[in-house]
Amino acid sequence: MPRYIPPEITDDVISAAALTDIIGFPDTHTLAMCALVCRTWLPRSRAKLFETIYIGNQRRYNLLVERVLHSETMSRYLASVNVLCIYEDKRHNQFLSSIGGRPFLVEFAGKLPGLRQLIVSGIDWTHQRPSVRWHLPLSHFRTITTLRLENSIFFSFNDVRRILTALPLLSNLATSYLTWHTVSQALHLQMTPHPVRTYWPELHTLSISYGLGDPRNCAETFLKWITAALGGSAIKVLTYGFYSGLPLAGLLREAVVAFMGCVRQSVTYLDVTFDDSLSLSGFVVLEHLSLSFGDSYGNWENVASVLQDVSLKTLHSVHLYNVDTQRKLNLWSDSDLLHFDHDTLEALDRILSREPFDRLKEVIFEVYAHEQDQEEVLRAHATRCLPELHKRKILRLTFHGLMQRLEVDGEH
């Protein structure tokens, strides 16, 4: 037998070590240790170290430029970069000024040929507004297919639009909690350049989220724009959530309805915040439906009514998550919130047992049991209220993230 480990095996070991840690960051410490094992481990370890780069402060940025970008021996590893995350590290203020003082997009143009994902999170662009030509160097990163903009504040919506329209090969776009200042109409017209392309022919995954504290006018503006901008893009995977709830009438609701009408013909995977006043009819090719129930009011009859609108033979999976229990709601003194252990749960059994749903392969409940002794009680409740789903062996319960199948005899 050879006295060395074949490189195929060591490469697999190093790749396994590169898996993200508990909070989602690559395990850079372990990879660095792998690089020190021996000379043959070094190339693969370095390549994995550079697959994902997080820049959250000026020190990190300076190190990347001085020790990697300008290094004859290290710069070649920039070709390994697949994910780049630019975020505001709250412990180090004014990081954005380092991007402005040493323009990142200009310095790194053509240096990241393998870049596929760009994540921008927690940036306050109002301190230094992106130039009207800011999008031009961004468009040089033509390999980017995934863009995530999160928790960021902009000077105006035009700055958001410039970023979103700079990447023609986008296939995955996620925006969450984006806000901007309201400006006068005259100033808005001054800032608005000539029309630009707003069609992404490859876009098939789209995620939009707004929260309780976000201005409704920002959500309305964004939805109106992207509804028109999508053009002929065939969105297959759609996630959207308005965690503050939608008003029963008004411009924001009209914008949501128009947006849904634009995408529903092509969506096969839909993940939405539950709203019983918003019909989901018209999603004619839907295969997977996920409903989030965080702080939702009402009962399961309302949910059954919404599911009735999406009764399709194409639907294979229904996932109901962020479902609370009565015990937790009692602690909050808010028993009107929808909860799993309510007798109206049987309404779902009646709806999902009808002919349009006969091809369902799974109905998953993700329940916050909070206490171990609740699990048996909740299983018994599910068996009693959902007998047909139980009989078909398609009912699943998740407690504390652990998937458990409900067997016919109720054992697990």
**Domain stop point among 34, 49, 64:** 49
Express each pLDDT in 372-407 by its tens digit: 667 888 889 999 999 999 999 999 998 864 455 555
pLDDT grade for 311, boundaries at 50, 70 and 90: confident
**Tokens 């300076």 sit on residue:** 62
Mean pLDDT within 181-189: 50
pLDDT at residue 162, as a whole number: 82
Q: Does the pLDDT of residue 361 top 90, yes or no?
A: yes
Considering the domain boundaries, does residue 398 fall inside one? yes
Mean pLDDT within 284-303: 87
189 by DSSP, 3-state: which? helix
CA nearest to 405, candidates 371, 368, 363, 343: 363
Mean pLDDT within 166-187: 78
Query: Quick one: the chain helix, strand, coil %, rounded to 5?
Result: 35, 20, 45
**Domain stop point among 13, 33, 49:** 49
pLDDT grade for 14, boundaries at 50, 70 and 90: confident
Q: How many structural domains compose the chain? A: 2
Considering the domain boundaries, does residue 332 fall inside one? yes
Which pTM value belongs to this model?
0.82
Residue range(s) defining the domain that contains residue 410: 295-412
Express each pLDDT in 147-176 by its tens digit: 999 988 888 888 888 888 888 788 999 999
Q: Does the pLDDT of residue 267 top 70, yes or no?
A: yes
Cβ proximity of 75 and 111 under 8 Å: yes
**Domain stop point among 49, 65, 84:** 49
Considering the domain boundaries, does residue 280 fall inside one? no
Considering the domain boundaries, does residue 395 fall inside one? yes
Considering the domain boundaries, does residue 96 fall inside one? no
DSSP state of 358: T
114/313: higher pLDDT: 114
Considering the domain boundaries, does residue 173 fall inside one? no
| Beta-bridge mates of residue 242 | 210
Name every residue whose Cβ is closer than 8 Å to that of residue 24 and which is 6 or more positions away in sequence. Answer: none
Considering the domain boundaries, does residue 361 fall inside one? yes
Considering the domain boundaries, does residue 302 fall inside one? yes
Distance CA 196, CA 180 (A): 20
Give the count of beta carbons closer than 10 Å to the beta carbon of residue 107.
15
Express each pLDDT in 199-227 by its tens digit: 577 889 999 998 766 678 888 899 999 99
Name every residue whose Cβ is closer than 8 Å to that of residue 394 and which is 6 or more positions away in sequence. Answer: 360, 361, 362, 363
Name every residue whose Cβ is closer than 8 Å to that of residue 222 and which is 6 or more positions away in sequence. Answer: 157, 160, 175, 178, 208
pLDDT at residue 174, as a whole number: 95
Mean pLDDT of the chain: 79
